[in-house]
Structure 1
Amino acid sequence: MENGFFFEAIIYLSAAVICVPIAKKLGLSSILGYLFAGIIIGPYMLGLIGQEGEDIMHFAEFGVVMMLFLIGLELDPYKFWRMRKFIFGMGLLQVVATTLILFLACSLVLRWQWETTLVISMALTLSSTAIVMQTLKEKNLTKTSMGRSSFAVLLFQDIAVIPILALLPFLAGGNVQNENVGHSLINGFSPWLQAAIVFGAIAAVYFAGRYIIVPLLHIVAKTRLQELFTASALLLVMAVSYLMQLVGLSPALGAFMAGVVLANSEFRHELEGDIEPFKGLLLGLFFIGVGASINFTLIFADPAFIIVFTTIFNIIKFFVLAGIGRLYKKSSDQNLLFAFALSQAGEFGFVILGFANQLNLMPTELSNQMMAIIALSMVGTPFLLLINERWIDPYFGVKERQSKKDYDTIDEDEKNDVIIAGFGNFGSTIGRLLKANGIPATVLDMNSERVDSLRKMGFKVYYGDATRLELLTAAGCESAKIFIAAIDNPQVNLSVIEKIKKHFPHLKILARARNRTDAFEMVDIGLTDFYRENLYSAVHLGVDALVELGHRRYTATRQGQRFIKYDEQATFRLAHKRHDKKAFLITSLEEIEMQEQLIKGDLYAQLGANDHAWESEDIKREHIAEVTLSKPIPEEE
């Protein structure tokens, strides 16, 4: 009996649900969890999916298409135009230099036919958009210098797939093994006509996005049916991708173009929200498919060649990328991350090698070996990034900066009483307030560009991961008085707090909490001084609203402070019941009712003249009104 759809779905989802949390628990990327899940259930281990891994790859590659569409939505045309120097500068340099060096190395050492060598070099030049962009998103690196450069190079590589695929039939010289290799409808036309149709399709996507798709989305939005809008979003991505495929372009590139066109529309955030869940699920399936496609039989048949070739091509690509980063004057820590992140081969390599095999440009066995090398390099990328993050970049970055600046030297006399971990919008506000009051602070931050700016402003700052014990010690945690945990990532922030409580119990910890959920987790580990960023700004706005409605400033402020006090007390009581949904709901309702009664009682309390503090103008107006009312009204004659 053949396994049906439901059985296969259960296998895929179960593998993901088991392996991904384990990977995250071990501090690894979720991508590694998906890859290991694919390896375990693949045909070369448990064999639960047999050869279906190849079939699911075609379906799951649509996750890459959706990812490019979402990236396009976040990049309006103006920003895209501003990045043109990086896209066509760094991207072109990387593709040409890597292809040339790999071609020369393989020609001199392996002596394959030049056509075969060129195809392999071009296939290995391309990096994995899916792995790199997902990793950058998980590590909050998309907005950094390294993130922007990585995106520029990846985008050019996606564009380069088109001419590479167009070049392969010319290399084959008409020796085509499979007549159905061409999926484009314009293959039989003249080159000039093909170019005109391609540019016409690109123009059609642009004008359709502005004058057809947006008006249609307005019509769909008026129905107020969320499921219909979701269907429209999926239809949009599929239709544009299919159109691009028909004219011989990359579906992912077409989806990216559609996203850029719609980036300035009012439906941008709605489209993002509808596409995101499908993208995440399909990307997970894609990574599982990559893991399942690794042919261990082929690897064990000639392990020396596979491992040595993978290592050497990764090293060559790493140094090419590092050289380009140095040419564009990237800081060493950003350059290391940039080179490690893009040093693997990518999903489009499978497409190029499969097409080349159909065109009889290389032996089938060699093609399979190269596909195994691509898959192996993709699996190794998260490990390389992990090694760089924990053992190379922090030490390298700190050491380099200490050699340039005297104030980077760890000196007992210069250690400060306050240490701030994380210097984004939240942490920088605290740091500036302390500095304005003459209190210096030592700052730990993972953004190298921010580190350089902080040093110029006079802050004592260290670049590196605040979860590392040696960095915390070097920053002066043993002698400091206050530690302020203000890191953007809640999980990292919580991890730092736990480490501080364990190794530096004397330190007073003041922690940032994004919301009530973060506050509950801090209560669980015994922290009492946490500050919910939304609570205080919301109460401040509420106080201003009360003043605008006629309440005295002092009264409104006092009520706001008491609201915060009661809410914080309620947080501690609710934290212990949040795992029981029914008890949590009942207690929440009771707390809200009690809080309202307490605040009303405070409002109507007789506080006498103290209630007029800060409001001398109010007192004057009331005095004038009382005098006016006390005057006798003249009688009419």
Structure 2
Amino acid sequence: MHPSSLIALLVAAFVLAFIFGGVAHRLRLSPLVGYLVAGVVIGPFTPGFVADASLAPQLAEIGVILLMFGVGLHFSMRDLLAVKSVAVPGALVQMAAVTGLGWLLARSFGWSTSAGIVFGLALSVASTVVVLRGLEERRLLDSGRGRIAVGWLVVEDLAMVLTLVLLPALGGGGHSGDLASALLLTVAKVGGFVVFMWLVGRRVIPWILQRVAQTGSRELFTLCVLSIALGVAFGSAELFGVSLALGAFFAGLILNESEFSAQAANETLPLRDAFAVLFFVSVGMLFNPAILLHEPLRVFETALVVIVGNGLVAWATARVIVRDGAVAMLLGASLCQIGEFSFILAGLGVALGMLPKEAGDLILAAAIVSIIVNPLLFLAHDRTQARRARSVPRTVEVMSPPLPDGSMPHVILIGYGRVGGELGPLLVERGVPLVVIDDDAPRVRNARAIGLPAVRGQAANPAVLAEARPADAQMALVAIPNAFEAAEIVKRLREANPAISIIARAHSDAGVRYLLDRGADGAVMAERELAHSLAEMVCALPAFRGGRTLPKASV
């Protein structure tokens, strides 16, 4: 009995992605590069085994659904509305500008105006998978900058849904009345979907999850979460005409209000990672390397529009709207690539006769190049942000309440997010004089609301750090997730007070070593500390604790 094409595809994709991803990691490249190479190897344009190219995009779509569902679980409607003044105009301006650049490039190729517009649109929309993977790796999804980036992606998704609906009417030479009707119908469908999810979904989905959780069955809970993610995504596409990814995002957004949202995110994480790998493998399968030999100049020009055009326009637009260099740099680094919607739009344009076949190959080649380059730009962003934080002047807000009076040494807590927000109140309860530093205004307000003196700004900036009087501090707790920025802060703390004790936060053994090598006295990895805490709980049982007493439980 021969294995089915599905099994053969999964085995080849995962094994080769593991091999080439490991090689890329050893070469200090992103594993994404290895996943793309694995797709090229099993694709129809290279010799040897050829996987079923019709199955890979469908499996990859599941990865996009689960990824957007996970993003929705960490997002809230309040977060989405909070960034609308930046995300909506920013995304629309960026898409319009890059579409114009793509149109100019297409006209230089001798293509028609309609082909140029479709070509430009395909070059203007970023890959949701690539952006979210980059934000997750840097623990930025819950930051203010990350919320703006996610909101930007949502606006792009909505714009592409509208484009995909209107394109057949344009391709068929429809009249203005037909276009207006299609536009109104699309807006009505999307609006109807949002209203339905807000009025019905936000009541029904959490209720179902709560009932399933009460059964105590992990299998049923996992199945329930997957059913909600996939069911809402598929139903939204079939009934309301919105994209699968957008439907899944709203499902997660609604489920975010449930007390089981964290557990739901953990249960879907392994599947999200596995199917995200299949997405990149499927992209590699579509790539014909021969175009690099036949049309190298056109590939270069197209990739230049994608990388430089999207990056610069996103950066410039964000600088004008929010006047925040950190936000602009993150958007510039994360949005300078294209992905899944670009392939869908290119395929539809070719099928309708609006795009030449060569355009589809150029879009795919540019996507491959931009996805490979994107991790390098993210790395440059990390290093630049770390340097900029200490060199660019920044306005420091006056603290309220004031600093400790100096009668006893204080502790500096840098970062008041999920970890710092839990740690701060605990130290306050124990009477530890504490000063908070964070560059996010809502977090600073939260710290001040419980009576903590708080400085708003980037702690790697000497002017900001000086406000917390590091020379008088006994200890500094660096609770931010970015290792590059944390290392710069450690360096600044050491310069201000060589005797200060510094404990930093890490997410891996490599992160622990990186921070220790750069001057931290200790680096705490959450998983290891959790293991120690659980071990302490076991040893506190009467059978094992001997003469020790059970520590007081936290509420």
Please report the TM-score for the alignment, with normalisation by the length of structure 1. 0.67
Give how far 1:13 is off: 2.1
Aligned to 1:8: 9
CA deviation profile, 1:78-132 (whole Å, cap 9, x unmatched): 333333222323222222233234334544x334210000001111110011111
* Alpha-carbon distance in structure 2 between the residues aligned to 1:396 and 1:300: 40
Structure 2 CA distance for partners of 1:455 and 1:470, relative to 1, 3 Å: closer
Please tell me whether residue 237 in structure 1 is matched to residue 229 in structure 2.
yes
Mapped to 1, the partners of 2:61 and 2:126 lie a distance apart of 15
Instruction: Say if 1:422 and 1:495 are closer, same or farther in 2 by CA, change over 3 A.
Output: farther
> Would you say the 8 A contact 2:222–2:268 is kept in 1?
yes
Letter in 2 for 1:489: H
**Distance of 1:164 and 1:86 partners within structure 2:** 22
Picking from 502, 517, 521, the partner of 1:499 is: 517
Using the TM superposition, name which of 62-71 and 115-124 deviates more: 62-71
**Is the 2:64–2:276 Cα contact (8 Å) retained in structure 1?**
yes
Q: 1:292 to 1:454 in 2, by over 3 A?
A: farther
Equivalent residues of 1:419, 1:442 under 8 A apart: no
1:165 aligns with 2:164: yes
Q: Which amino acid aligns with 2:169?
A: F
Given that 1:486 and 1:493 are in contact with CA atoms closer than 8 Å, whether structure 2 keeps it comes out as no
Counterparts in 2 of 1:113 and 1:455: CA distance versus 1, 3 Å: farther
2:93 alignment partner in structure 1: 93
Partner residue in 2 for 1:18: 19
One-letter amino acid of the counterpart of residue 52, structure 1: D
Amino acid at match of 1:239: G
User: Do 2:505 and 2:525's aligned partners in 1 also have CA atoms closer than 8 Å?
Assistant: no
* 1:319 corresponding residue in structure 2: 312
Q: What's 1:511 paired with?
A: 522
Matched, 1:348 2:348: no
Runs of 5+ consecutive residues of structure 1 not aligned to the other structure:
176-185, 406-417, 521-531, 536-563, 571-587, 601-637
Q: Kindly provide the amino acid, as one letter, of the partner of residue 352 in structure 1.
A: L
Q: 1:285 to 1:488 in 2, by over 3 A?
A: same
Distance in 2 (CA, whole Å) between partners of 1:440 and 1:196 is 50
Q: Give me the whole-angstrom Cα distance separating, in 1, the residues matched to 2:173 and 2:195.
A: 32
Using the TM superposition, give the Cα deviation of residue 350 of structure 1 relative to its aligned residue in structure 2, in angstroms: 0.3
Q: How does 1:414-425 map to 2 (within 5 A)?
A: none
SS at match of 2:75: coil
CA contact (8 A) 1:129 1:346 kept: yes
Q: For the Cα contact (< 8 Å) 1:129–1:154, is it kept in 2?
A: yes
Query: Compared with structure 1, are the counterparts of its residues 267 and 51 closer, same or farther at alpha carbon in structure 2 (3 Å cutoff)?
Result: same
Matches within 5 A, 1:60-459: 60-104=60-104, 106-107=106-107, 109-174=108-173, 196=188, 199-246=191-238, 247-390=240-383, 392-401=384-393, 449=458, 451=460, 454-459=465-470
Alpha-carbon contact 2:503-2:523 (below 8 Å) kept: yes
State the SS of the aligned residue for 2:252. Answer: helix
Superposition pairs of residues 521-536 of structure 1, within 5 angstroms: none
Task: Read off the aligned partner of 1:228 and give its amino acid letter.
Answer: L
Q: 1:302 to 1:312 in 2, by over 3 A?
A: same
Shift of 1:158: 0.6
Name 2:505's counterpart in structure 1. 487
Mapped contact 1:245–1:251 kept (Cα < 8 A): yes
Report the alpha carbon displacement of residue 327 of structure 1 after superposing the two structures with TM: 0.8
Report the TM-score when normalising by structure 2.
0.75
**Max radius of gyration: which structure?**
1
In the TM superposition, residue 46 of structure 1 has moved relative to its aligned partner by: 6.3
Report the secondary structure of 1:142's partner residue: coil
Name the SS for the 1:484 alignment partner: strand
Name the structure 1 match of 2:451.
Answer: none
In structure 2, relative to structure 1, the CA distance for the partners of 1:254 and 1:473 (3 Å cut) is: closer
What do residues 330-354 of structure 1 show as CA deviations (whole Å, max 9, x unaligned)? Answer: 4434422320111111210000010
Matched residue of 2:392: which SS?
helix
- Cα deviations by residue, 1:289-309 (Å, 9 ceiling, x for unpaired): 223332211222222221232
Distance 2:497 2:47 in 1: 54
| C-alpha distance in 1 between matches for 2:437 and 2:197 | 52
The 1:481/1:492 distance shift into structure 2, 3 A limit, reads: farther
Q: 1:270 Cα deviation (Å)?
A: 3.8
Q: Which stretch shows the higher mean deviation, 316-325 or 284-293?
A: 284-293
- Equivalent position of 1:599 in the other structure: 548
Separation of aligned partners in 1, 2:188 and 2:466: 54
Q: What secondary structure sits across from 1:486 in the alignment?
A: strand
Distance of aligned partners of 1:323 and 1:210 in 2 relative to their CA distance in 1, 3 Å threshold = closer
Instruction: Give CA deviations for 1:572-604 in whole Å, capped at 9, x if unaligned.
Output: xxxxxxxxxxxxxxxx98x9889623538xxxx
Aligned mates of 1:241, 1:85 — CA distance in 2: 26
Task: Describe the shift of the 1:255–1:270 C-alpha distance in structure 2 as closer, same or farther (beyond 3 A).
Answer: same
Whether the 8 Å contact between 1:41 and 1:47 is mirrored in structure 2 is: yes
1:372-414: CA deviation from partner (whole Å, max 9, x where unpaired): 2223212221122123334x44444433349x99xxxxxxxxx
Is the 1:63–1:283 contact (alpha carbons within 8 Å) kept by the matching residues of 2? yes
Deviates more, 1:479-488 or 1:243-252: 479-488
In the alignment, is the contact (CA less than 8 A) between 1:53 and 1:292 conserved in 2? yes
Task: Specify the SS of the correspondent of 2:141.
Answer: coil
Q: Is contact 1:467–1:492 with CA below 8 Å preserved after alignment?
A: no
2-side partners of 1:7 and 1:240: how far apart? 29
- Paired with 1:486 and 1:292, the residues of 2 have a C-alpha distance of 42
Residues paired across the two proteins, number? 501
